[in-house]
Amino acid sequence: MKKFDFLVIGSGISGLTFALQASKFGEVAIITKKKLFDCNTDLAQGGIAAVLDRHDSIDAHIKDTYKAGSELGKKKVIRTIVEQGSDLIQFLIDIGTKFTTDNKNLDRSIENLSLTREGGHTQKRVVYAADSTGHEIMFALVQACRKNSSIEIFEDHLAIDLITQHHIPQTENFITRITCWGAYVLDEITGEVNIFQAKKTMLATGGAGQVYANSTNPEVATGDGFAIAKLAGSRIANMEFVQFHPTAFYDTEGDSFLVSEALRGEGAVLRLPDGSTFMEKYHKQGSLAPRDVVSRAEEFEMRKRNLKYLLLDATKIPKEKLNSHFPFIKKRCAEKGIDITKEPIPIVPAAHYFCGGILTTEDGCTDIKNLFAAGEVACTGLHGANRLASNSLLESLVVAYRAGNHSSLKNEIEFPEIPEWRIIGDFNENEWIVIANNREIIQKIMQGYVGISRSKRLLKYADSRIWNIYMEINNFYQHNPVRKEVIETRNMVIVAGLIIRSALIRKESRGLHYIIDYPDKDDKNFKKDTII
């Protein structure tokens, strides 16, 4: 057993920010299933939305967020998070984040930061670090955590289950509310399962893009936090709202990567392979329309014309700006044989971000006592039915910071006697070989039947297939020692089921959820969260 005051599961912007704040009140353990930089935050290119310009306003940012979210967001939550944006940008600057300035000779004080505009925003309010904003933020946060003597980092550790009274039967008679006392954690190097006991646990595990065949997410994004929270009894909200990023690099060998929305913010234009534009037919903001509009338009054009990809033309952007603002994209495209200063980039929409997740407050509090959640794994109500560009890092930062300063962190709690993880028999290699390909099958089912456009018939078909896969995997999980691949596949199939069931419940089209059986919004019956 490893005893800490606070346990952080995940190493992105939410997890590390919470760890730094909570370390003021006790000892913190950070567990991450690969290395610290293996997370969605590190891949984030665009930036963080915050009101920093005198021409902008809090009310304008709130309005843009609520509108992009198809009027499903919670205005109180939106205001709370937007109002703290500038203070948390300053927090990142203070720990060493090097954002881009308007002039390289200027110091990086908040008034000198360069701002850009992205889809759905009416003002320039996105602060960035070239086209590697997430990596720059991660570098500063990781350095700060490594220097902090109250924080211990455990790489190659995967959370299997949250420890609740489900594992401790003798507590059921006198504890009525589900309570978390830490997690059972697999050490991927030794194969041992350890107890990480903690007064408070923060789930900051990111998203679940790997449940789809085409995704901008890294391999670690298998929905672990969604799954273990649901297994523990937490409510999950709005999982039908999966954001597909309109511009992922199209690669015939599947080696895709994100092409930042900021490129369109600087003037890049979406085109058909014949060079003609098309977005003006779908939205007055054209290529800078909100992501749900752009992704649906792209899918429609690709299906209508039987196209495998579309084009993003950045050739009208000055070469100096492409070199200074988008070095990562320029380099990656060059590796694929594309000179973005002279030719357009082949792109496709790809699964990118989950607007739903574990139901939380703006302080990260969940249904489960002593359990917090922040970042993509959480659903605060900020995004509604569609996330406004660059609001994700903002939400992650603000909610994690607030959770890390929550008054309950100072409370003392009593721990029950936590049993060791029960190891069952020997791993059945022959049986696992038969069902190991379920991971790929899950991805194909979700991509084909639960993508940008959906139908009731195909959702029901997907539900039936996913349920059968779940039964197979869960049966294997219950009768064999744990391994990383088994846990991840279990988590993926649980998340896939949550998405499908949520999509079947919402009998309207809103934001990221478009279902051909119900093509219109229905404010009377469905202007509310889908909670399962």
Tokens found for residue 231 = 């297994």
SS3 (DSSP) at 90: helix
Secondary structure class of 277 (helix, strand, coil): strand
10 Å Cβ neighbour count for 284?
8
Report the distance separating Cα 312 and Cα 268, nearest Å. Answer: 6
What would the two tokens of residue 53 be? Answer: 């310009």
End-to-end CA distance of the chain: 33
Tell me how far apart the alpha carbons of residues 260 and 130 are, in angstroms, rounded to a whole number. Answer: 11
* C-beta of residue 315 within 8 angstroms of C-beta of residue 341: yes
Closest CA to 491 of 404, 380, 377, 400: 377
Please answer whether residues 127 and 115 qualify as being in contact, where contact means their C-beta atoms are separated by less than 8 angstroms.
yes
- Give the phi and the psi of residue 131 in degrees, each rounded to 5: -115, 30
Buried-exposed string 291-304: b where 16+ CB fall within 10 A, e elsewhere: bbbbbbbbbebbee
| Tally of residues, the chain | 532
**HSE-up (13 A, CA, CB side) for residue 190:** 9
Whole-number Å distance between alpha carbons of 253 and 219: 16
Contact 389, 138 (CB under 8 A): no
Dihedrals φ, ψ of 7, to 5°? Answer: -115, 130
Q: Which of 117, 264, 271, 291 is catalytic?
A: 291
From the list 225, 196, 191, 267, the residue with the least C-alpha distance to 426 is 191
Q: Which two tokens stand for residue 434?
A: 């038969």
For the chain, percent helix, then strand, then coil, each to nearest 5? 40, 20, 45
**CA nearest neighbour of 403 among 153, 204, 154:** 204
The DSSP bridge partners found for residue 151 are 28
Alpha-carbon separation of residue 422 from 164, 483, 519 (angstroms):
15, 14, 49
Catalytic residue at 506?
Answer: no
Catalytically annotated residues: 291
